A and B are shown apart, each in its own frame.
Chain A
Amino acid sequence: MGKSVKEILMDGNGYACIQCGRCTGSCPSGRECSLRTRKLIHMARIGMDVIKEDELWDCTTCFTCQERCPKEVKTTDMIIELRNLAVEEGYLPTMADVPKIIIKSLYDTGAGQPLSPEISKVRSIIGLKKEAYDVSTNEETLKKFQRLLDGLEITRKGGLR
């Protein structure tokens, strides 16, 4: 199901981009770091190695650029797709270890953000169950969930198999 850069540009209307820069001008992240959305789209279009760019991982996916694009280029959707391609091709960002921790937690507990003993205590003090009712409550359900994950790419990319 992986897409090439060209397919990503086609699906995201990237060839309609007129390089006006409204995306970069609207970007809350670009104000604080070197992310330049216009540049990323341009690099993709002229065949440069856009998936190797670290800036690709500075986008918060807030969708402001996509909403404001006068040519209806799906900038945020394209950044998400380019990240998928980058991971597929082995260009892992600086955050590479973080998703692995989250993916392992998802596999082991069903939660991306696991429960700590301290918060478990708070839960019971305020009258909630010590552990929330979810996929991990019933052992059989958790095993089935893990079987589902075993068949998905996310566990391979997350280094679990």
Chain B
Amino acid sequence: MDEEYAFFPGCIAKNVYPGIEKATRIVFEKLEIGLRDYEYSCCPPPGVMACYDKPSWLVIGARNLLQSEKDGLNPMTICAGCYGTLHNVWYALKNDPALMDYVNENLSKIDLKYEGKNHPIHFLDILKDHKEKIAELKELDLGLNVAVHYGCHYLKPTSVTGENSERPTLLDEMVELVGCKAVPFKDRLSCCGAGGGVMSGEPDVSLKIVNTKLNNMKAANVDAIVDICSFCHMQFDQSQKKLGTTEIPVLHLNQLYGLAFGIRPKHLAMHTHLVSTRDIVKKVKAAKKG
């Protein structure tokens, strides 16, 4: 394969929503983009680790980054949280030789070294260069009205990501490729409320934040939420179960593509989501017949 990445699935996609890992493997195989596995640890999370002990966060992040450095492969993430960690660690080390020295001093204890020659990439930034192929592979126009959720750490801080954090359009365009419409809704770019250790540390605050967002989505009458972050995905799916006020199915973009490519919903583990995806499956079946 001409194009290949080191696949960094992240804890949530591996251990909580394996359908996201599976969907990613299927979509990338169809696109003929290689994914290689490495002996990764947790990214580790920016909320908990970076706030508890930033130097440790840098060292553990660098250990992940270096895994594929010798093979000349860039690590690809499917979670904005993992992306936030790996990309911010990479950026900090690249711009601060003293920090790089500190990290390598620690890594040398287990005979490792990071030189900063590769760089992490979020999968959306890979897929954006394969729009034609995605349109070619599409077997179904899904015809869903969706609320897209970019994930804060994919967009921000823009000094590191280079994105437009107030008016991003890429994910909107990417769902349109498979016949979906990104519906406008109030405060569409606001945080899901999971990050910064708030989901686990201040669960009441976290639920209030996500509840506001979910109600805004509900008011726009969407069929599904489409995310590009396993952590936001978990927040939307689990919180709806706890709140009991909305029932909007939650799909990772790779699951949406899997459906459009004709993969059976069960193979994307959609039946394991807490919010039922039954209505989506029905619509997909109807699209198949039509």
Q: Is there contact, CB below 8 Å, between B201 and A158?
A: no
Of A16-24, A42-50, A120-128, the one with at least 4 CB within 8 A of chain B? A120-128
Question: Does residue B200 face the partner (Cβ distance < 8 Å to A)?
Answer: yes
Which residues in A have their C-beta under 8 angstroms from that of B102? 1
**A147-B109 CB under 8 A given contacts A66-B156, A134-B39, A153-B56:** yes
A-facing mask of B46-80, CB < 8 A → 1, else 0? 11111111111101100100000000000000000
Which residues in A have their C-beta under 8 angstroms from that of B22? 126-128
Within 8 A of B (CB), among A50-105: 57-64, 66-67, 76-77, 80-81, 83-84, 87, 93-95, 98-99, 102-103
Q: Is there contact, CB below 8 Å, between A132 and B208?
A: no
Question: Does residue B284 face the partner (Cβ distance < 8 Å to A)?
Answer: no
Number of A-B contacts (CB under 8 A): 214
Q: How far is the CA of A104 from the CA of B43 in the complex (A)?
A: 15
Of B7-15, B136-144, B242-250, B275-283, the one with at least 4 CB within 8 A of chain A? B7-15
Which residues in B have their C-beta under 8 angstroms from that of A31? 209, 212
Q: How far is the CA of A133 from the CA of B212 in the complex (A)?
A: 37
B-facing mask of A134-161, CB < 8 A → 1, else 0? 1101100100110111011111011000
Q: Is there contact, CB below 8 Å, between A111 and B205?
A: no
Question: Does residue B120 face the partner (Cβ distance < 8 Å to A)?
Answer: no
**A119-B157 CB under 8 A given contacts A60-B198, A153-B55:** no
How far is the CB of A32 from the nearest CB of chain B, in Å? 4
Q: Is there contact, CB below 8 Å, between A148 and B110?
A: yes
Going nearest first, the 7 A-B pairs with the smallest beta carbon separation are A95-B201, A154-B56, A63-B156, A62-B191, A32-B208, A61-B196, A112-B42
Which residues in B have their C-beta under 8 angstroms from that of A83? 51-52
**A62-B18 CB under 8 A given contacts A134-B40, A141-B39, A152-B53:** no
Residue of B nearest to A155 (CB): B56
Specify which of A58, A95, A138 is in contact with B39 (CB 8 Å cutoff).
Answer: A138
Q: How far is the CA of A116 from the CA of B46 in the complex (A)?
A: 23
Residue of B nearest to A150 (CB): B109
Q: Is there contact, CB below 8 Å, between A58 and B15?
A: no
Q: Which of B25, B190, B268 has the most CB of A within 10 A?
A: B190
Q: How far is the CA of A81 from the CA of B206 in the complex (A)?
A: 21
Which residues in A have their C-beta under 8 angstroms from that of B11? 111-113
Q: How far is the CA of A128 from the CA of B194 in the complex (A)?
A: 27
Interface pairs (8), CB distance under 8 Å: A29-B209, A58-B202, A62-B196, A67-B165, A112-B44, A149-B60, A152-B56, A152-B59
Question: Does residue A25 face the partner (Cβ distance < 8 Å to B)?
Answer: no
Chain A residues proximal to chain B, CB less than 8 Å? 1, 28-29, 31-33, 57-64, 66-67, 76-77, 80-81, 83-84, 87, 93-95, 98-99, 102-103, 106, 110-116, 119, 122-123, 126-128, 132-135, 137-138, 141, 144-145, 147-149, 151-155, 157-158
How far is the CB of A159 from the nearest CB of chain B, in Å? 11
Q: Is there contact, CB below 8 Å, between B110 and A135?
A: no
**A98-B42 CB under 8 A given contacts A60-B152, A61-B47:** no
Q: Which of B37, B53, B109, B187 has the most CB of A within 10 A?
A: B53
Which residues in B have their C-beta under 8 angstroms from that of A28? 187, 190-191, 193, 209, 212
Specify which of B9, B41, B53, B165 is in contact with A87 (CB 8 Å cutoff).
Answer: B53
**A102-B45 CB under 8 A given contacts A64-B191, A115-B14, A134-B14:** yes
Which residues in B have their C-beta under 8 angstroms from that of A87? 51-53
Which residues in A have their C-beta under 8 angstroms from that of B37? 133
Specify which of A76, A122, A132, A155 is in contact with B9 (CB 8 Å cutoff).
Answer: A132
